[in-house]
A and B are shown apart, each in its own frame.
Chain A
Amino acid sequence: MIALTEKKSGFLNLLASRQVRRGILVAPLLIFFILFFVIPVGLMFLSSLNTPAVGTVELSSELTLKNYTRFFSRSSYLIAAGRSLLLASIVSFVSLLIAYPTAFLIARTEHPGRVTFLTLLVLIAMQLDIVIRLYGMMVILGDNGLVNQMLLGLGVISKPLPLMYNFLGVVFGLVQFALPFMILTLVGVLRGIDPSLEEAARSLGANRFRCFYRVTLPASLPGILAGTLLVFALSVSSYIVPALMGGFRVGVLPIHIFQQVMQMAQFQFGAAVGVVLFLISLTSIAVYLRVGSSARGA
């Protein structure tokens, strides 16, 4: 009887120990993530190594590299991969060009109410469902869209410019998608730059441009790198933007995955394309996290 109570209190002590008690806080989410994220993604990796069998999802124990040799030996898939990478690089660069001055304005505005207002505008755009924003983009850029109607009306062009359902249209759409992420990343870094650095440069006789070029720009480099990597990862992964703005005419990896899986029931090959995309995205995110933590001085 005594031994039993002792054992029980030992167990209770263990339960009461801080680390275990705290572990209980994170356990439900951890289990949820393992069950519905880690295991499914792990199974996808496994299934990409299975012999292709149309319509079969079940895993088999035989492993093969057939799906990968198919991916890396067909020019159409390699072109799609190259196009995805090119697209994401262009979008990162264009977003940076547009976002930098915007972020600069937010970071340098001193009136707190105005900063909040501008930040909220960026946040609203970011949180708003991308399909709704793309609806607006399509109305602006389509053949009968606002830009073409205006240019035709002014007599600048004689037939509509092809601004959509092509590579260019996907770039426009992805920049729209990525811009808020780039702006917010840059604002964080630009706000952190010590103003006395710039004041010192100015007082030593540097003009505004030189001061920006030699002081502000180098100091914001970590933010530029972090934002570029984040935008790269987000744009290489996007399905909806190439689907709507490219009208399925711009084949990128996410479109191929969806078609292989949902239209052709090629689960194993779709999984292999998924693994390729996953690894591209994971690499840029891993670098982003490293850069991001060093930018915060950690």
Chain B
Amino acid sequence: MKKRRIPLLILVLAILGFSYLLAPIVIVVLAGLNSGDFLSFPPKGLSLRWVIAFLQSEKYLSSFFFSFRLALMTMVISTILGTMAALYLSRQTRIWRGVLQSFFLSPVVLPGVVVGFSIYAFFISTEFPLVRTIWGLWVGHILYSTPYVIGTVGAALAAYDLSLEEAARSLGASPVRAFFKVTLPIIAPAIQAGSVFAFIVSFGQFEVSLFLSAPNSEPLPIAMYNSLRYKFEPDAAAAGIFAICLVTAAVLLTNRLVNLRKLLHRA
């Protein structure tokens, strides 16, 4: 096949696009490693001063771990419920599958403020004892994380040859045994990748948390937001560095588990 060259103009514009996308992230890393009292350009020098300040700060460290715990809790439930739902969806007719998939996707694309507010009002008016607890946040985050598990596991199941499971069945394996011995090992990487996605989605969730979190136990995004409204604290940027590392590691890990390029581009 003839190699198609990429026009120079496109290349320049694409580099600008990537710069726009990545510049803020680079800036946060620089701000967190900056040795001055605030970020200046060019930076005064690099130091771990703010990273250490973050590791000693009650506010950011506790919200970092709060987010981490919440994301783990969310991940467990989202992975189980999402995988089960994906298994169901993979064996339905296309129309019914489309309808249900869109339904499960809707919390992700509909306004987070509206979803957060309605869950909050629902908890208060029904006296559901979850208002302003980690459990209430947990409920909200599961709504957001599960669609990612369904999507990732669903893609693996779409590529999976059902005749393998049928072969196991015809050789006398019970449906449960055929699933655990044949299907599950094949889709296991996708389940793991989906659970990593669920983790990071919960870790970065903002708008639902805004309505459901309690003043003294806030997830990291809420704590950062509350400080950003008034000033730029370099130790918030240091907290950001840890979050950036976490997300980068998670994305690299999912890429090892499933081929993200193929998953996203369907090609």
Contacts and interface: CB of A to CB of B under 8 A. Distances in A.
Interface of A: 21-23, 25-26, 28-30, 32-33, 36-37, 39-41, 43-44, 47, 57-59, 98-99, 101-102, 104-110, 112, 115-116, 118-125, 127-140, 146, 149-150, 175-176, 179-180, 183-184, 187-188, 191-192, 195, 198-199, 208, 230, 233-234, 236-240, 243-244, 254, 257-258, 261-262, 267, 270-271, 274, 277-278, 281-282, 285, 289, 293, 296, 298
Contact of A176 (B24, B91, B94): B24
B250 to A, nearest CB: 7
A285 B24 contact: no
Nearest to A187: B265
Given A101-B17, A132-B244, A138-B232, A237 B110 contact: yes
B18 A102 contact: yes
B264 interface: yes
17 contacts: A25-B84, A37-B143, A105-B14, A110-B4, A120-B255, A121-B18, A123-B264, A129-B247, A140-B23, A149-B40, A176-B21, A179-B21, A188-B266, A239-B113, A254-B111, A278-B111, A285-B106
Point out which of A99, A123, A149, A281 has the most chain B C-beta atoms below 10 A from its C-beta.
Answer: A123
Contacts of A146: 27, 41
Contacts of A282: 110
Contact of B26 (A29, A136, A274): A136
B267 A101 contact: no
A70 B3 CA distance: 62
A292 B215 CA distance: 41
Contacts of A101: 9-10, 13-14, 16-17
A237 B236 contact: no
Interface of B: 1-4, 6-7, 9-11, 13-14, 16-18, 20-28, 31, 39-41, 81-82, 84-85, 87-89, 91, 94, 98, 100, 102-104, 106-107, 109-115, 117-122, 124-125, 139-140, 142-143, 146, 175, 197, 200-201, 203-204, 206-207, 210-211, 220-221, 224-225, 228-229, 232, 236-237, 240, 243-244, 247-248, 250-252, 255, 260-261, 264-267
Say whether chain B's binding surface is mostly helix, strand, loop, or mixed: helix
B124 A57 contact: yes
Contact of B224 (A116, A135, A140, A257): A135
Point out which of B24, B206, B220, B225 has the most chain A C-beta atoms below 10 A from its C-beta.
Answer: B24
A131 B121 contact: no
Nearest to B241: A132
Contacts of A125: 21-22, 25
A135 B260 contact: no
Contact of A132 (B9, B10, B243): B243
Q: Which 7 A-B pairs have the closest CB atoms?
A: A136-B24, A102-B17, A129-B204, A237-B111, A101-B13, A105-B14, A40-B122
